[in-house]
C-alpha cells in the first residue's frame, strides 16, 4: 500500500498542477485571454487556491517563467546549477561553447513557449518589466561565460567579455530559437549545432 502523501507534498503537487495548467492556457490562448478562473478550472482547484498560492496572475506568470527556465521548483541560481558549472569548468574554448549551446537548447526546449507569452504581453508594464529582468538575467549568465572564455585566452581580437556576451545573448536567445525552431521548423538539435557554430565563428580566433 502506497504511503500517504505529506501535506507539503500535496501542496507541491497542487502548485505544479496550477503551473502546468497556466503554461498550457497561456501558450494556447495568450496572456490576456487566460483568466485565473480558467487556470483554476483546468487545474481542478478553487479560484481562491490560485490567489492564495500565487497572489496575482502576473506573479503566477513570473513563477512559471522561473520554473520553466530552471526545470524545477528548486531555488538554485543558474550559475550554481551543474550544467553551468560544467560550462565554466570546460578546459577549452570550443568545448565550452558546445556546452553553452547544449545548455541553452535544453532550457529553451521547455521555456521558449512561455518566453514567447511574456514577450507578446509587454504592452502590460509589469510584464514588460518581467521581460527586461529576464533579459538582464540571461545577459549576466552570458557575461560570466564570456569572462570564462576570456580567461582561457580564447576571444577573437576586437572582442572583450562584454561584447562576447552581447553576441551570445543574441545567438542563444529565445528570439532566434522561436524563429528557427517554432516558425521555420528546425529541429532543436539543428538549432544547437547552428548556435555553437555561430558562436565559434564570431568569438574564437
DSSP state of 67: H
C-alpha 91/C-alpha 152 separation (Å) is 8
- The 10s digit of each residue's pLDDT in 80-107 is 999 999 999 999 999 999 999 999 999 9
Domain map (residue ranges) of the chain: 7-55, 78-203
Q: Give the closest residue to 25 by CA, choosing from 52, 50, 48.
A: 50
Q: Which helix (H) or strand (E) holds 39?
A: helix 36-43
Cell of 148: 570564462
The pTM (predicted TM-score) of the whole model is 0.90
Q: Residue 138's pLDDT band (boundaries 50, 70, 90)? A: very high
CATH topology for 78-203?
Answer: Tetracycline Repressor; domain 2 (1.10.357)
Is the pLDDT at 2 greater than 80? The verdict is: no
- The 10s digit of each residue's pLDDT in 102-133 is 999 999 999 999 999 999 999 999 999 999 99
**Of the options 1.25.40.10, 1.10.10.60, 1.10.10.10, 3.40.50.720, the CATH number for the domain spanning 7-55:** 1.10.10.60
Q: From start to end of 92-199, where are the E strands? A: none
> What sign results for the dihedral spanned by CA atoms 53, 54, 56, 57?
negative
Contact status, residue 154 vs residue 204, Cβ threshold 8 Å:
yes
- The 10s digit of each residue's pLDDT in 45-86 is 999 999 999 999 999 999 999 999 999 888 899 999 999 999
Amino acid at each position: 500500500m502506497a504511503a500517504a502523501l505529506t501535506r507539503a507534498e500535496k501542496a507541491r503537487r497542487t502548485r505544479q498542477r496550477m503551473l502546468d495548467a497556466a503554461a498550457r492556457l497561456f501558450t494556447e490562448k495568450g496572456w490576456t485571454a487566460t483568466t485565473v478562473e480558467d487556470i483554476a478550472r483546468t487545474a481542478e482547484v478553487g479560484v481562491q487556491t490560485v490567489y492564495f498560492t500565487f497572489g496575482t496572475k502576473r506573479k503566477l506568470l513570473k513563477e512559471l517563467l522561473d520554473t520553466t527556465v530552471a526545470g524545477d521548483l528548486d531555488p538554485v541560481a543558474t550559475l550554481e546549477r551543474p550544467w553551468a558549472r560544467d560550462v565554466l569548468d570546460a578546459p577549452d574554448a570550443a568545448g565550452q561553447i558546445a556546452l553553452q549551446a547544449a545548455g541553452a537548447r535544453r532550457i529553451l526546449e521547455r521555456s521558449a513557449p512561455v518566453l514567447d507569452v511574456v514577450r507578446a504581453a509587454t504592452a502590460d508594464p509589469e510584464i514588460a518589466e518581467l521581460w527586461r529582468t529576464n533579459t538582464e538575467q540571461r545577459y549576466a549568465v552570458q557575461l560570466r561565460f564570456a569572462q570564462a572564455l576570456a580567461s582561457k585566452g580564447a576571444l577573437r581580437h576586437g572582442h572583450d567579455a562584454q561584447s562576447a556576451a552581447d553576441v551570445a545573448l543574441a545567438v542563444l536567445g529565445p528570439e532566434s530559437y522561436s524563429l528557427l525552431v517554432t516558425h521555420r521548423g528546425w529541429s532543436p538539435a539543428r538549432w544547437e549545432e547552428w548556435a555553437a557554430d555561430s558562436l565559434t565563428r564570431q568569438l574564437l580566433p
